[in-house]
Copies of this chain bind each other. A is one copy, B any other.
């Protein structure tokens, strides 16, 4: 690896092979993005061959550096790299680019292709996830062992990535935290889909990143020695580094280079043939890998094995010591959890209340933190309101990687950073904000759900119950919008004890994210000596209070409306109506129960069904059917004390009872 000879013809041949393989893949798929792979091949080659510590034979090696293709549309480049570097990805896989059930989908998908560290495509996300990964590596390095875990994170990104606000937020935090293990390589190609970048993007990116506290380096995108030296400089600086590479989209394509045409469509037969000719290749031969390229780039396998072997020696030494710092990590990795983590969580008595579920959440979270040493997180500048502070723990700051993360007023970056932390084996991340601001962070939540990552979102101030802050802060449609996301569990507990069970479920569930929806206002702590146990939450929904006599009316509720439904039941029972109250805090869990259970909770024979939730009624028809009704909010809220709003919008026991009788 020392004394590189960039004039060695195999180097150029390797880079050209990356370019042409990518172009061939797009051409064969008749769909995709050839331009970025062609411009970024030199950078990618240098990274994978000379800088990235990775082991193609074991893509999950915990000591590896991370590579993120933030401009996920350049997936053909990544797949070509992985194939040539000896990952388990065949030439046939490359030929099946973008085909049904192939291992080479249009954008890189985590868990789908070996060597893909995170799913990218929506711009800016990969960049911000990289910040989270760099934080994760630093946290493990500091808490366990610096030499085992101080991975570097390399992110390849485009103009589009850096225009997105999520990248700005994440870059600002990365600079603040002095994440020296983060290196972003920016393809400054001056072309976007609509044309030259100066149609819309004339800012000085270098100056912006200097303002964030980054090191900024400039290179010419085809000058290997320059790029190599810059990456070396980036590795040796305590700040995060931005390497600005002046590149040429579609490099080598005779008429399409440096034009938007090279971006998102195949080059076309003629242009591709001419490109190959320009690179000294046969214009009519496709998917060609010269033997010497194969041999040269395949050396990554041998190097990777040696790196991991060396790492394992240290790992084994540490692991054999009596109080190994690795113990907690070994128990927590790959979705595992430390022994006894879920035992003796706090429970609450009616006399402890009334208590806001956000407050109960803070108590339970701190109890969990004592048992889960690799749980960490924070809030987007609302920790005192979200109750997300881990008491007695240090902050994650520039000099110390504590467990309390101050994300700043940056919800979107928080969501993406949580993904990066969740990618860090062993860590259990959480992040809080007001429920309304879940709207700022939906793109990374969706990616977490898609990837099966399991951060926990602590969303407080969950309805008009927040009161005076008014309609801009009062969630209405957010519950429906979150429930509609596949593989995202949304849990809205009805009291402190349901909150404790909800947290337990959130931690136990390691294959998808969970959103906890919590009240700002105090709620009674339900008397479980007369009502069903809060453990029923594990089924998503359960019969909280059974009817007396025959079942006439079904009341369904979640969160702060559960105690109201119980009061309404009293009124209705006094009028001789057998009324059942079903607490339904999590639709996803309820849908996962077998039909027998669901029919026991919601007997089909009872069609007088009324759902009560201080949110949009959207979606509740699933449970109340065409004959039932929903008391919800059909418009936005208002600014006033919470109790007056509940009255105004129909959320009182008397109004619920009256509506139920009218069914």
Contacts and interface: CB of A to CB of B under 8 A. Distances in A.
B122 A436 contact: yes
Contact of A640 (B100, B121, B618, B622): B100
A142 interface: no
A325 interface: no
Given A98-B468, A203-B213, A439-B446, A412 B484 contact: no
B207 A472 contact: no
Contacts of A409: 123, 159-161, 163-164, 192
A644 interface: yes
A200 B407 contact: yes
Nearest to A167: B165
A98 B639 contact: yes
Interface in A473-511: 473, 476-477, 480-481, 483-487
Contact of A477 (B31, B437, B439, B486): B486
Contacts of A625: 621, 625-626
B484 A472 contact: no
B406 A100 contact: no
A100 B483 contact: no
Interface stretch (A103-111, A267-275, A303-311, A334-342): A103-111
A480 B449 CA distance: 17
Contacts of A560: none
A570 B612 CA distance: 42
Nearest to A636: B450
A656 B6 CA distance: 60
A217 B442 CA distance: 35
Contacts of A173: 200
A658 interface: no
Interface residues of A, number: 112
A381 B107 contact: no
A67 to B, nearest CB: 18
A450 B207 CA distance: 38
A409 to B, nearest CB: 4
Nearest to A195: B406
Nearest to A98: B468
A102 B640 CA distance: 9
A165 to B, nearest CB: 2
Interface stretch (A43-51, A248-256, A358-366, A382-390): A382-390
A470 interface: yes
- Tally of this chain's copies: 2
Contact of A619 (B446, B485, B618, B640): B618
B165 A412 contact: yes
Q: Which of A122, A159, A161 counts the most B-chain CB atoms under 10 A from its CB?
A: A122
A633 to B, nearest CB: 8
A619 B165 contact: no
A120 B470 CA distance: 11
A115 to B, nearest CB: 17
A379 interface: yes
B468 A32 contact: yes
A439 B199 CA distance: 24
A621 B618 contact: no
A164 B477 contact: no
A163 B397 CA distance: 17
Nearest to A108: B472
A473 B75 CA distance: 14
A368 interface: no
Interface in A400-436: 406-410, 412-413, 436
Interface in A150-205: 159-161, 163-169, 172-173, 175-176, 192-195, 199-205
A447 B472 contact: yes
A447 B436 CA distance: 12
Nearest to A119: B472
A638 interface: yes
Contacts of A160: 381, 409
Contact of A121 (B200, B397, B470): B470
Contact of A176 (B169, B202, B476, B616): B202
A211 interface: yes
Given A176-B203, A408-B200, A484-B481, A381 B168 contact: no
Contact of A99 (B195, B483, B640): B640
Contacts of A450: 471-472, 636
Contacts of A477: 446, 481, 484-486
Contacts of A412: 165
Most buried by B among A102, A164, A447, A639: A639
A487 B208 contact: no
A476 B447 CA distance: 13
Contacts of A4: none
14 contacts: A105-B470, A106-B470, A107-B469, A164-B165, A165-B165, A165-B169, A193-B385, A194-B381, A202-B398, A204-B210, A440-B443, A442-B442, A480-B619, A481-B484
Listed from nearest, the 5 A-B pairs whose CB atoms lie closest are A165-B165, A121-B472, A105-B639, A200-B408, A100-B640
Given A98-B470, A107-B470, 17 more contacts: A99-B640, A101-B638, A106-B470, A107-B473, A121-B473, A164-B409, A175-B203, A194-B406, A200-B381, A201-B408, A204-B213, A207-B210, A439-B446, A442-B442, A447-B472, A481-B481, A481-B485
Interface of A: 29, 31-32, 72-73, 98-102, 105-107, 109, 119-123, 159-161, 163-169, 172-173, 175-176, 192-195, 199-208, 210-213, 379, 381-385, 395, 397-398, 406-410, 412-413, 436-437, 439-440, 442-443, 446-447, 449-450, 467-473, 476-477, 480-481, 483-487, 604, 616, 618-619, 621-622, 625-626, 633-636, 638-641, 644-645, 648
